[in-house]
Chains A and B, each alone.
Chain A
Amino acid sequence: MATRLTTPCSSSSTNFSPSSSFNNEAKLFTRFISMPRKYGLSTWVSHIHSKTHARKHFLLNSSNEHPLNAFSLQDAGLAGNPLAKERIEPPGKERPSIPMSEAEKEESTLSITVVGASGDLANKKIFPALFALFYEDCLPENFTVFGFARTKLTDEELRNMISKTLTCRIDKRENCDDKMDQFLKRCFYQAGQYNSEESFLELDKKLKEKEAGKLSNRLFYLSIPPNIFVDVVRCASHRASSANGWTRVIVEKPFGRDSESSGELTRCLKQYLTEDQIFRIDHYLGKELVENLSVLRFSNLVFEPLWSRNYIRNVQLIFSEDFGTEGRGGYFDNYGIIRDIMQNHLLQILALFAMETPVSLEAEDIRNEKVKVLRSMKPLKLEDVIVGQYKGHGKGGKSYPAYTDDPTVPKDSLTPTFAAAALFINNARWDGIPFLMKAGKALHVKRAEIRVQFRHVPGNLYKRNFGTDLDKATNELVLRVQPDEAIYLKINNKVPGLGMRLDRSDLNLLYRARYPKEIPDAYERLLLDAIEGERRLFIRSDELDAAWALFTPLLRELEEKKIFPELYPYGSRGPVGAHYLAAKHNVRWGDLSGEIYE
């Protein structure tokens, strides 16, 4: 099988972008985007230099509402915001180094500042992901990791804290300790207030020390509560933007809690950043099987004719966790499962699943198609949603708490910890096909999967072998995103033997068996993409708007009408209401069908 030889850490787009034909502006600039990987390749830098003027001009005419235009601005690194302009001069002094010599190739630097470094996400995901990238040689040679938070810590203390969560992959044990030490030496800490420009100025100083006058690229990862997003962005943008390279900011959910607050947040962010500096992360899009969804669809002929209402009966997007809020319900209670999982993760997967074939694999092309899906969706009606909340449950002598037993949750909270919804896409491909979503906490399993149920065979010759319910004998494609990544296709098969008994067998691909290598964490992929300027897996403003526009009326209605959630026991299969919702649309949940789950 022919595969392209690429370095293990090239980001998803880099395989393709060099081949783009340079027949228009957008394409031209995508080339720049793919270049930073090469860190200061002379042609790239000189190109920027020579184009600076033109680009600034372009900037004036551009509007952030047109991502393609904004897109073209950013990677000049010269920032599409007024603040950057001030800085265009000083870097000029450093520019004489251009054109760069071979030796100077190494002269660009990358600093990743984790804002909220003492937080949970930072410790569990971000630092380990950065280390994994370092281990795989995916980070540029001159990189620095900065932790930033309010807590006073020394560099040593930060390193000590981080080192506890760093691990090497099972298949990458070699020199693990060595590598860890090398990595930790690149980690530094700066304490400061999130809303203090002075603190960020101080940070800037430190960053500059590390950059030592080289070309500087800066990535800020905001791992902080949403209420201080804007403050941090303001301070970082004003005081700690890169002078001569790029500055990018990764933002984590929640992106607001409805259309208005999200719109407001976007507006505020855009005061200080251009669209293409904002990397809204949805870590589900970084999961291996979600990435593979497009490969599966677009590189296998056998799926091509099947991917429409002609053959697909329904699609199910299922997320479940086998634990509750466990004392951390404070944040969750303000959002609920619909905002926490459905409006972002599941809806993003849905859009990726249902989109038309994009013109290319470029970020803008894909995101354009996704937006089209979101905008084609039928408004959600209250009766197509059911909500649930887990209650206490005693099992095997153990007592599991109710959601409202969580001390951080108000006793009378109506926040759903479970929801199921039927969505429809009013376009030619999907008209009438129910897309069912289900997400819940404190259920019986931990699982995320996509299930595609096909129609039954018209005029099936083997009808009588299936009993009365033909729908139970249809094909089903399952992409199990986690745990135990797998793809399987349920087919009807003859049970070997002298009779003619049919049953359903799986044509399957269990990743663990086929690919013994550990699968990288979603955060690794996304961090690398952000570093390389690959935006495919990040959410564009208009995508976010469309997603909120779909869910906001419903969420408002749920809250205004104080819809009481159906209570379900901790560790159960969720409220039965989900079955009735499915039944209404002639669907049977694939994950609760009595078949043994592998």
Chain B
Amino acid sequence: MAALSSIHCRSYSYSPFLFSSSSSSINGQQFQRINFSSSGISKRFLPAKLFSQSRKNSYHGVVLMQDGAVAMPVNPVENEASFKKVKDGLLSSITSAEELKETAGFDVNKDESTVIITVVGASGDLAKKKIFPALFALYYEDCLPKHFTVFGYARSKMTDAELRNMVSKTLTCRIDKRENCGEKMDQFLKRCFYDSGQYDSEENFTQLDKKLKEHEGGRLSNRLFYLSIPPNIFIDAVRCASMSASSANGWTRVIVEKPFGRDSESSAALTKALKQYLEEDQIFRIDHYLGKELVENLSVLRFSNLIFEPLWSRQYIRNVQLIFSEDFGTEGRGGYFDHYGIIRDIMQNHLLQILALFAMETPVSLDAEDIRNEKVKVLRSMRPIRLEDVVIGQYKSHIKGGITYPAYTDDKTVPKDSLTPTFAAAALFIDNARWDGVPFLMKAGKALHSKRAEIRVQFRHVPGNLYNRNFGTDLDRATNELVIRVQPDEAIYLKINNKVPGLGMRLDCSNLNLHYAARYSKEIPDAYERLLLDAIEGERRLFIRSDELDAAWSLFTPVLKELEEKKIIPEYYPYGSRGPVGAHYLAARYNVKWGDLGAEQ
């Protein structure tokens, strides 16, 4: 099998360009456009990227792309004219073609570009558990540019050594990458620094800027801010960072974590505020589910296998199920959650994003804008969600094996009379030619019996099935099902009807399966690694664009509002159970049976 022999840490969108020099003119158009949008990523960072990456073979693909991009400014007018949208993003920060040429001429200074990743909210949980370990993993894999620095920023007073000490506790090497692990950790920690300050103080950020400049030592500077802070201080931090700590000659990007508001209005307000200080292409809204290996693979599966092509529509698919469950509750941290609830926390973002990716039409290319355009189309084609198509639940306490599991409202940070759903199921519909009438069922819950995230595709039954009599009365139980298990134990399997070996003619359901652990011995990288690398490389495919976010909110906002206004009481379910039975009735209304609660599990 001809697999692309790309370097492991290079981000996907670039790999096609490995062959672009040999590819035919058909691709010329696409090639040019990508070039252009990549220059749109941020013109300031562009030469820097060129320098930092052409140095390494691992960035070969990027180099090809960048070559094109550098050539572009020779006739910038024509390009800008034909790609107005991108241009808009460029104009405010665009540097002159001369400057680009100038910087492009700095070939001698190739090694002189730097990347500084500032983790704002460095003492937080996410930073410690995910961001620093992901950065270290990227470092271990040689995916970070040569001159990189990691800065922690938070209010607590800390020395560099204290930060390093704190960070070091959560760093681990992958099972298959143990070599020199200790050494690598030391090297990594030496690149970590700390600065303390208020999130809303421009002075503090000026101070940070000074420190960053010290590390940059006059080289081309690229800066990535990771905002791992509560939403109410997003804007302040963005304002300060943008005003006082933007890169002078490279790019500045900001990664923002959910929640992106709590309804259409607040989300729009947030976007508007962010855009006072940042361009759309500087904002990287992270949805870490999009960084999961199997979600990434979803498009590969669909678009590179002919056998799935005819199946992917209402003609063959009976329903699609998007299932997320956690086997623990809020466990004393319900304060944030109670304000949002499971629909905002999981459905409106993670599950809806997967749904859009699953259901979208074939994009023109794998380029970020093309994919996001298709996703927006799906979201905008969706039928408004009606209250009766949603079931909500909340877990109550449960005693099992002598252990008492708490109710949601037993959480000290949660009001006793909270109606916030910890479980929700919803039936969604996409009113387009491909999916008309096919129910997309979502289910998300906390404190359930298992930890799981999966996509289930149930196919229709065989028309005029010759073997009907072997299936009893319920034909729907004997249909094919494609399951993509996102976590844990990544796997893809297709349930097929098969003859039980033997002299009789008994049929049963077997799996054609691909279990990742068995097939791929390498540890699968964490979603954060992929997303951080993408942000550093300016790849936006897995980040959420403003219009996507707007569409997602406009789908869920009315129903959320109605739930709250009508004070709908959630159906209670015991901690550790399979969730409220209401989910079954919701499914039954659309002639669906939840695939995860079948007898075979």
Contacts and interface: CB of A to CB of B under 8 A. Distances in A.
A444 B301 CA distance: 34
Nearest to B519: A505
Given A311-B310, A499-B7, A299 B465 contact: yes
Interface string B357-392: 000001101100000000000000000000000000
A502 B4 contact: yes
A459 interface: yes
A326 B234 CA distance: 82
Nearest to A485: B501
A514 B504 contact: no
B504 A509 contact: no
Contacts of B337: none
B474 to A, nearest CB: 6
A2 B472 contact: yes
B12 A500 contact: yes
A507 B471 CA distance: 24
B366 A461 contact: yes
Contacts of A454: 306-307
Interface in B502-530: 502-514, 516, 519-520, 522, 524-525, 529-530
B8 A498 contact: yes
Contact of A499 (B12, B299, B300): B12
Interface residues on B, range: 35 or more
A465 B3 contact: yes
B469 interface: yes
Interface in B290-322: 293, 296-297, 299-301, 303-307, 309-311, 316
A19 B470 CA distance: 11
Contact of A305 (B310, B467, B510): B310
A170 interface: no
A386 interface: no
Contacts of B493: 507
A288 B501 contact: yes
Interface centre among A16, A465, A502 (most CB of B within 10 A): A465
Contacts of A494: 293, 296-297, 300
B10 interface: yes
B465 to A, nearest CB: 6
Contacts of A489: 307, 494, 512
A184 to B, nearest CB: 22
Contacts of B467: 295, 298-299, 361
B306 A500 contact: no
A465 B299 CA distance: 14
Given A498-B529, A500-B4, 15 more contacts: A10-B503, A295-B498, A300-B462, A302-B307, A302-B459, A302-B482, A306-B307, A464-B4, A487-B512, A491-B514, A494-B297, A497-B8, A498-B530, A501-B3, A504-B1
Contact of A10 (B461, B464, B498, B505): B505
Contacts of B55: none
Contacts of A446: none
A292 interface: yes
Interface in B476-511: 477-480, 482, 490, 492-494, 496-511
Given A295-B467, A467-B2, A509 B310 contact: no
A466 B23 contact: no
A332 interface: no
A519 interface: yes
Contacts of B525: 496-498
23 contacts: A2-B473, A3-B472, A3-B500, A3-B508, A19-B469, A292-B499, A295-B499, A302-B311, A305-B311, A357-B466, A461-B304, A464-B18, A492-B305, A493-B492, A496-B516, A496-B520, A498-B530, A499-B10, A500-B13, A502-B3, A502-B304, A507-B494, A595-B1
B533 A498 contact: yes
B413 interface: no
B2 A493 contact: no
Contacts, number: 277
B478 A299 contact: yes
Interface residues on A, range: 35 or more
Nearest to A306: B307
Nearest to B315: A305
Contacts of B350: none
A508 B500 CA distance: 16
B27 to A, nearest CB: 8
Interface string A300-315: 1110111000010000
Contacts of B500: 3, 515
A75 to B, nearest CB: 20
B307 A475 contact: yes
A459 B10 CA distance: 24
B513 A508 contact: yes
Contacts of B296: 494
Interface string A245-284: 0000000000000000000000000000000000000000
Interface of A: 1-4, 6-16, 19, 133, 136, 138, 288, 291-292, 294-296, 298-302, 304-306, 311, 357-358, 360-361, 454-457, 459-469, 472-475, 477, 485, 487-489, 491-509, 511, 514-515, 517, 519-520, 524-525, 528, 595
Nearest to B465: A299
A389 to B, nearest CB: 33
B397 interface: no
A3 B507 contact: yes
Given A9-B504, A302-B316, A462 B480 contact: no
B185 interface: no
List the 6 closest A-B pairs by CB distance, nearest first. A500-B12, A467-B2, A2-B472, A507-B512, A464-B16, A1-B509
Interface in B44-98: none
B402 to A, nearest CB: 36
Nearest to B494: A507
B502 A8 contact: yes
Contacts of A499: 4, 6-12, 15
Contacts of B471: 2-3
A2 B511 contact: no
Given A298-B467, A524-B503, A304 B306 contact: no
B194 to A, nearest CB: 27
B442 to A, nearest CB: 24
A508 B9 contact: no
A578 B316 CA distance: 38
Interface in B135-151: 138, 141, 143
B600 interface: yes
Interface centre among A1, A466, A507 (most CB of B within 10 A): A1
B267 interface: no
A137 B313 CA distance: 48
Nearest to A365: B466
B19 interface: yes
A8 B474 contact: no
A36 to B, nearest CB: 16
Nearest to B317: A301
A9 B502 CA distance: 8
Nearest to A357: B466
A473 B469 contact: no
Given A454-B306, A461-B362, A498 B141 contact: yes
Contact of A509 (B5, B7, B502, B510): B510
B29 to A, nearest CB: 14
Given A2-B471, A10-B503, A301-B479, A465 B306 contact: no
Given A469-B2, A519-B501, A496 B293 contact: yes
B589 to A, nearest CB: 23
Contacts of B522: 496-497
B452 interface: no
A496 B506 CA distance: 37
Interface in B12-40: 12-13, 15-20, 23
Interface centre among B141, B464, B509, B514 (most CB of A within 10 A): B514
Nearest to B471: A2
B315 to A, nearest CB: 8
Contacts of B258: none
Contacts of A296: 496-498
Nearest to B509: A1
